[in-house]
Amino acid sequence: MENKTTEKEKIYAMAMTVIVAGAVLAIIFMYNFLQNPSKIFFGKNVAQNISISDLEEAVLPSSGVVLPVSWGDLGAQLVKTGVIDEEKFKSLYEGRGQFTEEYKQLLTGTSSGKLKITQDNAGYILNLLWALGLANKNPILDTGEMMDPKYGGGNPPAGGFASTGGWTMAKGNAMDHYSHHKFFDLTPQQQVIVDRVSSGIYRPCCGNSTHFPDCNHGMAMLGLLELMASQGVSEQDMYKAALAVNSYWFPDTYLTIATYMKDKGVLWQDVSPQEMLGVNYSSGSGYAKISAQVKQQEGQKGGGCGV
């Protein structure tokens, strides 16, 4: 009788152990799920189950992205100095039926809020930043790759690139404004940051880093980096903003890269912006390797290098 009782007690103890262990595992599971539900797996990685529309929303938010900078009256300054010919610029967008009140405010008004980029205004912001990057005085333009004869910038030096010869919205010649105006001051430390970050941000249209801004996207990104540095934005936030901006400028590129990362089980919000903007993903050659591994989606658009 005593042996039977002991046997029952053992079975009971084992059952209670299993129950308690199960409860503990359930608590741990629920805690981890609440902390980061995207890391919980149900047969497949959650990232691999994201639909195309969800992926597009992650890469190109329909509500836009607020950038960590204020535009202020830079548009008005660009107009005042002749970097932008106001009438020519307005006519360009009025001819497309696109010169909105927002565009007018960015060009001639003053804005105290943060700059916001959307799918609709990405091209307009590209051109404003192109003008800023082209005209703002910076050592990168004065002594960098743009002025190196081995890269064939033409005569005058740096005048034969898409980012210089292609800027047709100025009063006079674009090179009359090249690295000529001082719209804000950068401290030596801020300039070091711009040098470093610009060397690590690529674009697929040309394959060069922002430190060699030979096309409009590169020159515009340089302008954005200078603006962010002048307003004390951290390097981490610079990369984050740059990835958002590049995504709107090259939607096909970054949707493809996001698809590639999804297939690897990585959500877009979990990627490293610095890595995604680097040579292995965002340069022309790097993106070609990524693209070759991803089934292309129809209806995607790229960014041209003209106004």
Give residue-wise pLDDT tens across range 112-153.
899 999 999 999 999 999 999 999 999 999 999 999 999 988
At residue 294, what are phi and psi to the nearest 5 degrees?
Answer: -120, 135
Q: Return the C-alpha torsion angle 182, 244, 120, 163, nearest 10.
A: 40
What integer is the mean pLDDT of 196-204?
97
pLDDT digit string (tens) for 259-289? Answer: 999 999 999 999 999 999 999 999 999 999 9
pLDDT at 209 over 50: yes
Which pLDDT does position 34 carry in this prediction? 43
Least confident of 24-33, 49-58, 88-97, 295-304: 24-33
pLDDT at 53 over 50: yes
Higher-confidence residue: 218 or 21?
218
pLDDT digit string (tens) for 67-94? Answer: 999 999 999 999 999 999 999 999 999 9
Helices (H) and strands (E) in the chain, counts: 15, 2
- Return the percentage of the chain with pLDDT > 70, whole number: 79
Which pLDDT does position 192 carry in this prediction? 98
pLDDT at 2 over 60: no
Which pLDDT does position 49 carry in this prediction? 60
Q: What's the DSSP call for residue 297?
A: P
> Please, what is the average pLDDT of the chain?
86
- Nearest alpha-carbon partner for 282 in 224, 199, 226: 199
Extract the tokens encoding 290.
């990524």
Which pLDDT does position 154 carry in this prediction? 77
What integer is the mean pLDDT of 38-62?
66
Nearest-angstrom CA–CA distance, 194 and 137: 13
What integer is the mean pLDDT of 105-115?
95
Q: At what angle do helices 216-230 and 122-135 cross, to 10 degrees?
A: 80
Which pLDDT does position 51 carry in this prediction? 73
